Amino acid sequence: MTEPMRILVTGGSGLVGKAIEHVVQQEGGKLEGEEWIFLSSKDGDLVDVGQTRAVFEKHRPTHVIHLAAKVGGLYQHMKENLLFLRDNLKINDNVLQTAHEMGVAKVVSCLSSCIFPENTTYPIDETMIHNGSPHASNFGYSHAKRMIDVQNKAYFQQYGHCYTAVIPTNVVGPHDNFSIENGHVLSALINKTYQAKKEGTPLSVCGSGAPRRQFIYSLDLGRLIIWVLREYKEIDPIILSVGEEDEVSIKEALDMITKALDYKGEIHFDTTQSDGQMKKTASNAKLRRYRPDVSFTNKYTNIYTSEQKHTWVAFIITPTLFK
């Protein structure tokens, strides 16, 4: 790119934001003439329109990667759907409208594969986002995310803006939320397994272990989001994910975690707890059409538990290495 770009990354302190920062700062992802600004909630509460405007006025971005969201684990979503709906609606509207008012050339926002309809055919693709109600467990978050796609289309129709969105499947990597109560499924399981081994207690897993998920390594996702910012011209969103063949059950993922952490104790599946959506298999065919060269990391190291920050474990995401 020859034009100077000032890229503001909302949610820059989270799992995905930290991955983009790593790609930009450590992997030479930053091009000449570019300035990257990574925000956390400490720079401004984006639920508040005044604070959102102040942040944009301070940095005057030409481009925005919008990652900030109120995000939680399955059980937190089930308890607080209203809060997830309202906070995310406000954050997204504040960011998109402020970007519009300040003449931002491009916004790439982040949807999620958990916003897809509950009753659907598989694999799910980008055209199916609005084809039915999302899973009841996280309907608040899902509807707020779906509105980003609606707003992107409206900003294009009314003003010709290139505001678009990516749809990642489950993300894993350094800087994830490892909380057992509120963490994402893999990071919470890693921490639980680690604790069970340390304490010599049985490992209790919420649900049956049967749900299936696709996991993308955060650095792979970070590189792809930067590609979308630079190259992808559509308003319609694009799924950023490993292929359907790399979907694993929670039980299979747990096998990998227990192997990686050498946990040999008892495992109890608590089937009184909800499983959430049984699967949400997403197609990455559109991504493959644009980027037939893309490859995904199937092993990641450098995960640490929230408790013992210097305990590094190796964890294999896809089952292929165990075959």
Ligand X SMILES: NC(=O)c1ccc[n+]([C@@H]2O[C@H](COP(=O)([O-])OP(=O)(O)OC[C@H]3O[C@@H](n4cnc5c(N)ncnc54)[C@H](OP(=O)(O)O)[C@@H]3O)[C@@H](O)[C@H]2O)c1
Determine the residue with CB nearest ligand X: 14
CA angle (276 as vertex; 275, 281 as ends), nearest 5: 110
Take residue 8 and report the two structure tokens written for it.
């503001």
For CA atoms 169, 288, 31, 159, give the dihedral sign.
negative
Which residues neighbour 26 within 8 Å (Cβ) at sequence distance 6 or greater? none
Which one of residues 171, 189, 219, 248 is an interface residue with ligand X (CB under 6 A)? 171
Q: Which is nearer to ligand X, 110 or 205 (CB)?
A: 110
The reply on whether position 46 binds ligand X by CB under 6 A is yes
Report if residue 13 touches ligand X, rule: CB under 6 A: yes
Q: Shortest approach of ligand X to residue 186 CB, angstroms? A: 9
Helices (H), 80-208: 81-101, 139-159, 185-199
Q: List the one residue out of 303, 319, 314 whose CA is nearest residue 262.
A: 314
Residue placing its CB nearer to ligand X in the complex, 61 or 263: 61
Contact with ligand X (CB under 6 A) among 6, 29, 34, 45? 45
Q: What angle do CA 73, 151, 230 make, to 5 degrees?
A: 85
73 binds ligand X per the rule CB under 6 A? no
Give the β-pairing of 5-10 and 34-38: parallel
> With respect to ligand X, which residue has the nearer C-beta, 5 or 46?
46
Contact yes or no for 293/230 (Cβ under 8 A): no
Site for ligand X in 97-156 (CB under 6 A): 110, 112
Beta bridge partners, 64, equal 8, 107
Strand partners, 171: 216
**Is 74 one of the binding residues for ligand X (CB under 6 A)?**
no
Q: Answer whether 196's CB lies under 8 Å from 261's CB.
A: no
Question: Minimum Å distance from CB 11 to ligand X?
Answer: 3
Q: State the angle between helix axes of 49-59 and 81-101 in degrees (0 to 180), rounded to the nearest 10.
A: 40
Q: How far is the CB of 272 from ligand X (least distance, A)?
A: 25
Short-list 115, 110, 127, 209, CA closest to 165: 110
How many residues sit in the footprint of ligand X (CB under 6 A)?
26
Rounded Cα–Cα distance for residues 258 and 265 (Å): 9
Q: Note whether 276 binds ligand X by CB under 6 A.
A: no
- Cα dihedral 53/165/177/7 (nearest 10): -50
Which is closer to ligand X, CB of 27 or CB of 266? 27
47 binds ligand X (CB under 6 A): yes
Does 141 qualify as catalytic in the annotation?
Answer: yes
Q: Interface with ligand X by CB under 6 A: which range of 130-138, 169-177, 188-196, 258-266?
A: 169-177
Region of 13-21, 123-131, 230-238, 295-303 interacting with ligand X (CB under 6 A):
13-21
Residue 16 makes contact with ligand X by CB under 6 A: yes
Asked whether position 41 contacts ligand X by CB under 6 A, the answer is yes
Q: How far is the CB of 27 from ligand X (least distance, A)?
A: 18
**Active-site choice (122, 141, 155, 232):** 141
Residue positions annotated with a catalytic role? 141
Chain residues that interact with ligand X, rule: CB under 6 A? 11-17, 40-42, 45-47, 67-71, 91, 110, 112, 168, 170-171, 177, 184
